[in-house]
Structure 1
Amino acid sequence: MTSTLLSRVTSPARLKELHPDQLPALAAEIRDFLVDTVSATGGHLGPNLGVVELTIALHRVFDSPADRIVFDTGHQSYVHKVLTGRRFAFDTLRAAGGLSGYPMRVESPHDHVENSHASTSLSYSDGLDKALRLRGEPDRRVVSVIGDGALTGGMAWEAMNNLGGGGGRVIVVLNDNGRSYDPTVGGVAEHLAALRHGRHHGTNLFTTLGLDYVGPVDGHDIAAVEQACREAATRNRPAVVHCVTEKGRGYVPAENDRADHMHGVGPFDPATGRPPAGGSATWTDSFGAALVDIAEAHPEVVALTAAMSHPVGLGRFAERFPDRHFDVGIAEQHAVTSAAGLAMGGLHPVVCLYATFLNRAVDQVMMDVALHRLPVTFVLDRAGITGPDGASHHGMWDLALLGAVPGMRVAAPRDTVELAALLGEAVRTTDGPTALRFPKAKAGPAIAALNRMDGLDILYRSRSRPLDVLLVSTGVLAGPAIQAAESLSDNDIGVTVVDPRWLLPVNPTLVHLASRHRLVISVEDGVRTGGVGAALAQACTDAQVWTPVRSIGLPRSFLSHGDRSAILADHGLTAAAIADTTLTLQRGLAARQPTEREGTR
């Protein structure tokens, strides 16, 4: 695409050289550029189409990177990346080794915070502002760009409370488009709507907390946003600049998409906005259908989510049972403790979150649900490696975190048949919390069990071979584990593959199976530290079973973005790699002198 103005803007300094009359044309070029590139790579389109003029105005008023511009959440930073010299890297967006879909400190001095979990920018900004003042740099400004959806998170108001009384000069640019992923909910949304439509005069929620308020202004009018930001910058106190924007602005398919305005997309046809045709159902789709079926038979089942009803598969549930569906906004902590209250009231809440966002509510899971032994089910979408969204979105911590929660039972279905069955078992559990985890992926074919043993499914057993190796598969890694077992059998190694179904706590029968084999290997798409293998090793030690237990899984590291399959392959989670690792470990074990018991793992 030939670009005249955009090709000249290689830095914020070059942006400031443009005449105001040229800016609308620049905004149009940026939108065309975003549609063209994101249609090829996938990414967050709608949020960035909505902040084009706002971001141009910010970089014309403030002096980045000396002035710190912090985006909350970071998925609305594509325009910022374009204006700070990264336009030519967009063909690598979200690919391994390429441009991140979020701010990334190693990419540019203009990126200060690697944030993609919402409602955090105001706290970062509060600390940055205090640091600048303490270091004798009071003339540098801190600007926090936060969407109205992120204001539904409690952490934002903890920060707002401190900003209003802290004597700083943070400028809060409120990008108000009436949405997070889904439409923004709750009292804050109603208050902002009143401000947008002039129904609230004098003091408002922000001024009551001690911040100045400028606005509302049209967030697509660059001159108006510039003027509002300059006015806020002249005040020697924290201020909110309220900008009203439209998510998906300027691209008809996004504007017409009432569900989410093409919030996060895979590759699509830029002419129509439609993804490629075909493909099997996703795990999310299958969960949504199963939950509706279960809820038909169980009137006590209710569902909660944190501003992501459709992404976690609750669309059909919300349509069928609107009074039993609760979207609490970007407030995972509240979602979990509200679910505890619902359970105390005699219902069975199903809390549907991305696995990565469960991290934000671990205390509530531990102390508000598990301590009270409440029947709450957590459904964790995007568990394991998610791929292009990177370190903050990989759902690789849940097994380690939930493994520390007393009374928590965690299941990982290997296929959608098991997903429905395990969800049903979870809903029928009345004496404590349960969790189900599944990946961001297309659902594969069903994998039949040879037989079930005390709740464990035996998926493969070598014929006429000694019991050399027990492969313990977790969830969707059952397929690669079976393929690895077949390869190992060809190398005269006797292998059993077991799917525990309920991974945590460790089933005593799994310990018994371990005692009958010479080597146990867990195959898991979570961190090895504190994962399934670690729990099994501890259970074996407690039972004085000395079979060595090893884990093939993910390291305790922040893994970068890239293709999901490639990242799994990089960490040995393919059939061939599992077979090779098992063969190496088995041969090493065979070569050892059998004079000492296996006392360490």
Structure 2
Amino acid sequence: MTYLQDINSPADLKKLDIEQLKQVCKDLREFIIEQLSHNPGHFASSLGTVELTVALHYLYNTPYDKLVWDVGHQAYGHKILTGRRDLFHTNRKLGGLSGFTNPKESEYDTFVAGHASTSISAALGMAVAASLNGEENRRVVAIIGDGAMTGGMAYEGLNNVCSQPNNLLIILNNNDMSIDSNVGGIQDYLVKMTTSAKYNKMRSKVYQSFKSKNLISEEKKNIVLRFNNSVKSLITQQQNLFEGFNIRYFGPVDGHDLPGLIRVLRNIMDMKGPKLLHIKTVKGKGFKPAEKAATIWHAPGLFDKETGERIVKKRIDQPQLYQDVFGHTLVELAEKDRKIVGITPAMPTGCSMTYMMQKFPDRAFDVGIAEAHAVTFSAGLAKEGFIPFCNIYSSFMQRAYDQVIHDVALQKLKVIMCLDRAGLVGEDGPTHHGVFDLAYLRPIPNLVISAPYNEHDLRNLMYTAAYGNEGPFVIRYPRGQGEKVDWRNQPQLIPIGKGKRLKSGSDMALLSIGTIGNSAAKAIARAEEMGISVAHYDMLFLKPIDEELLHEVAKNFKHIITLENGVIKGGMGSAVVEFLADNGYIDNRVFRIGIEDQFVTHGTIAELQRITGIDAESILRKIKEVYELTKAEAREVQMQ
């Protein structure tokens, strides 16, 4: 590093000249590449925003001026330049820096940004607040990617920007990517806008002509801008979308040309009224393998920074990933039934919808970062007789809650909602943990809610959802490897709302739902070695819950433990307590294991399960506590 080691805050940037700032950009890229080669994180996005990050912190008075990043994937450079360089080796590790922006971590982080399309709305709120507070000199900037522009909330924000007095600057970082390649009309529009050679050539000539005639004054900028956009509309034969929102548009400009970027930002940063700067960048800029394969290098894991070779653990005799079991099973079902279709909001690689896209490209749909649309689009398909498998990460399904209620459940439409990344997900932290779905979906009428114990159950549930049920069906499963069963079973219908006894016992019963039950099985096996007999039941369905099984448990066991990889309030344990209360079982005691009333930090899944008390060791501890209680109660009865 030439200069980066001496930059501890944006104030240090302001002491440098342009040539030195260019070197800072090189230093910053090298630092990110070095750090992420051995401490994996979101790689390509932040490499693409290096020049933008340096330019913003060089020109703006942060943290007084507000930078609102849309998704923290692109904000690693921002973290490094704002006093966190020496802590960056702890990024995404337990007790270390968050992988996303977080105001609790730094005053330079203005807003939590784990989900996309929020920056314009949040920044507009801050800009209006500055106006209401009389802070007319406080500048607010929203930085949003073209991938996030596929989300409806971005347009709700744009629509409101022109109706409020504000000086908001929106920077549209256009790199043709979200995680996978962008899709849809906005992508086509931006491509046409940035690739019109005629327009870009004429724009340069017009600007130079106006400049030579001293017409680029502050009071005349608006006239020049309107003329500029009229020329653009004429040449590209399309209206400017952003001008239609009454937002002054500038661009497109090269997002890697640091001097040019600083010049443009300096010219527009103090203009009154809302404005949008459209920059063109390359995701993974400065690291050739990432530039060539941005999807793979979004979060590549470990890699050799010299050769660009990814260090991938060999999966010889390893359990299949749950998302791959989903993807392959979906293709099998689709091969036999042309009514099977797949939908995902911008996560085809992550959820393995790619298998369906390769085999049946006309029946697999990536709808962009648009979870609410994904659900209602699926509902429309279901209304016309198709069988949609709508795959959305658990934490992202929260964004489509109204659509699940209003557009699917109310009409009892046969939409199969597969919630990937359910439960604790690890290093992505609290914005991504899928721990709320059981609790927030359980109150909704007409839903079937299920969670497989292993790969066989996932395949059977998918088959049952398609051919054994006529309404909406939820299947939630975790990220990562399965339980190492021979997963390619012949899928079969299973009774909806029926659990199963995995093991008999006499001292207490443990009821689990989902793959976390495998941790319970390990704990129970160790308890048996200690002379503690535990009956283990896999509920499989949260709704409808197996009441016959619960009656059996309630009549035979005074002490019941419930276990779920989700929040304890409102989940499966709550359902069991409600059942016992409603059916007059007043002598039973229920001990619930799950995620307590808190947002869980980031760390490895093993670390987080231990912290939250849902790992095998913690479950064994609870079993021993309950067993000691049973013995104490038995002694008390004898004494009486």
TM-score (structure 2 length as normaliser): 0.88
Choose the corresponding residue for 1:578, options 605, 619, 623. Answer: 619
Alpha-carbon distance in structure 2 between the residues aligned to 1:411 and 1:582: 25
Residue number in structure 1 paired with 2:223: none
Ranges in structure 2 where 5+ consecutive residues have no aligned partner: 200-231, 488-493
Residue number in structure 2 paired with 1:287: 326
User: Which structure's CA Rg is the greater one?
Assistant: 2
Q: Structure 1, residues 516-552: CA drift from partner, whole Å, max 9, x if none?
A: 2222211111000001111122122223334322210
Alpha-carbon distance in structure 1 between the residues aligned to 2:381 and 2:591: 40
Contact 1:165–1:210, Cα closer than 8 Å, also in 2: no
Is residue 577 of structure 2 the alignment partner of residue 537 of structure 1? yes
Residue number in structure 1 paired with 2:87: 89
Measured at CA, do residues 314 and 153 of structure 1 come closer, stay the same or move farther in structure 2, by a change above 3 Å? same
Deviation at 1:204, TM superposition (A): 0.6
Residue number in structure 1 paired with 2:143: 145
Alpha-carbon distance in structure 1 between the residues aligned to 2:447 and 2:303: 40
Secondary structure of the 1:213 match is strand
Deviation at 1:227, TM superposition (A): 1.9
Q: Structure 1, residues 137-188: CA drift from partner, whole Å, max 9, x if none?
A: 0111000000011111111111101112212110001100011111222121
Alpha-carbon distance in structure 1 between the residues aligned to 2:483 and 2:293: 29
Residue number in structure 1 paired with 2:297: 262
Deviation at 1:371, TM superposition (A): 0.5
Secondary structure of the 1:277 match is coil
> Which amino acid in structure 1 is aligned with residue 403 of structure 2?
Q
Contact 2:416–2:466, Cα closer than 8 Å, also in 1: yes
Choose the corresponding residue for 1:456, options 491, 499, 511. Answer: 499
Is residue 42 of structure 2 the alignment partner of residue 6 of structure 1? no
Residue number in structure 1 paired with 2:478: 439
Measured at CA, do residues 412 and 594 of structure 1 come closer, stay the same or move farther in structure 2, by a change above 3 Å? farther
Alpha-carbon distance in structure 2 between the residues aligned to 1:201 and 1:11: 42
Residue number in structure 1 paired with 2:160: 162
Measured at CA, do residues 503 and 159 of structure 1 come closer, stay the same or move farther in structure 2, by a change above 3 Å? same
Secondary structure of the 2:501 match is strand
Alpha-carbon distance in structure 2 between the residues aligned to 1:161 and 1:27: 35
Alpha-carbon distance in structure 2 between the residues aligned to 1:194 and 1:595: 80
Alpha-carbon distance in structure 1 between the residues aligned to 2:296 and 2:45: 8
Residue number in structure 2 paired with 1:181: 179
Contact 1:344–1:374, Cα closer than 8 Å, also in 2: yes
Residue number in structure 1 paired with 2:606: 565
Choose the corresponding residue for 2:255, options 219, 233, 243. Answer: 219
Which is further off, 11-20 or 21-30? Answer: 21-30
Residue number in structure 1 paired with 2:60: 62
Which is further off, 478-487 or 378-387? Answer: 478-487
Deviation at 1:261, TM superposition (A): 5.0
Choose the corresponding residue for 1:488, options 527, 545, 560. Answer: 527
Residue number in structure 2 paired with 1:232: 268
Q: Structure 1, residues 103-143: CA drift from partner, whole Å, max 9, x if none?
A: 11122111110111110011111110111111110111000
Secondary structure of the 1:480 match is helix
Secondary structure of the 1:570 match is helix
Deviation at 1:403, TM superposition (A): 0.8
Choose the corresponding residue for 1:338, options 377, 380, 403. Answer: 377
Alpha-carbon distance in structure 1 between the residues aligned to 2:308 and 2:402: 45
> Which amino acid in structure 1 is aligned with residue 190 of structure 2?
L
Deviation at 1:232, TM superposition (A): 2.2
Q: Structure 1, residues 237-263: CA drift from partner, whole Å, max 9, x if none?
A: 1000000001111111111215x1511
> Which amino acid in structure 1 is aligned with residue 300 of structure 2?
V
Alpha-carbon distance in structure 1 between the residues aligned to 2:446 and 2:560: 25
Contact 1:460–1:485, Cα closer than 8 Å, also in 2: no
Query: Number of residues paired by the alignment?
Result: 586
Is residue 564 of structure 2 the alignment partner of residue 524 of structure 1? yes
Residue number in structure 2 paired with 1:171: 169
Alpha-carbon distance in structure 1 between the residues aligned to 2:481 and 2:308: 23
Measured at CA, do residues 437 and 300 of structure 1 come closer, stay the same or move farther in structure 2, by a change above 3 Å? same
Contact 1:50–1:245, Cα closer than 8 Å, also in 2: yes
Contact 1:384–1:396, Cα closer than 8 Å, also in 2: yes
Q: Structure 1, residues 24-66: CA drift from partner, whole Å, max 9, x if none?
A: 3222221111111112111100101111111111111211101
Residue number in structure 2 paired with 1:382: 421
Which is further off, 125-134 or 427-436? Answer: 427-436
Residue number in structure 1 paired with 2:204: none
Deviation at 1:492, TM superposition (A): 3.5
Residue number in structure 2 paired with 1:599: none
Ranges in structure 1 where 5+ consecutive residues have no aligned partner: 597-601
Alpha-carbon distance in structure 2 between the residues aligned to 1:61 and 1:201: 31
Is residue 410 of structure 2 the alignment partner of residue 371 of structure 1? yes
Measured at CA, do residues 595 and 294 of structure 1 come closer, stay the same or move farther in structure 2, by a change above 3 Å? farther
> Which amino acid in structure 2 is aligned with residue 5 of structure 1?
Y
Deviation at 1:413, TM superposition (A): 1.4
Alpha-carbon distance in structure 2 between the residues aligned to 1:284 and 1:246: 29
Deviation at 1:589, TM superposition (A): 4.5
Contact 1:374–1:430, Cα closer than 8 Å, also in 2: no
Contact 2:301–2:310, Cα closer than 8 Å, also in 1: no
Deviation at 1:590, TM superposition (A): 4.8
Residue number in structure 1 paired with 2:541: 502
Alpha-carbon distance in structure 2 between the residues aligned to 1:520 and 1:41: 42
Which is further off, 224-233 or 586-595? Answer: 586-595
Which is further off, 193-202 or 368-377? Answer: 193-202
> Which amino acid in structure 2 is aligned with residue 537 of structure 1?
V
> Which amino acid in structure 1 is aligned with residue 331 of structure 2?
V
Alpha-carbon distance in structure 2 between the residues aligned to 1:267 and 1:565: 19
Contact 1:254–1:273, Cα closer than 8 Å, also in 2: no
Secondary structure of the 1:562 match is coil
Residue number in structure 2 paired with 1:205: 241
Deviation at 1:510, TM superposition (A): 2.3
Residue number in structure 1 paired with 2:110: 112
Alpha-carbon distance in structure 1 between the residues aligned to 2:573 and 2:172: 45
Contact 1:247–1:261, Cα closer than 8 Å, also in 2: no
Alpha-carbon distance in structure 2 between the residues aligned to 1:414 and 1:432: 22
Is residue 430 of structure 2 the alignment partner of residue 391 of structure 1? yes
Alpha-carbon distance in structure 1 between the residues aligned to 2:538 and 2:634: 31
> Which amino acid in structure 1 is aligned with residue 36 of structure 2?
V
Is residue 135 of structure 2 the alignment partner of residue 100 of structure 1? no
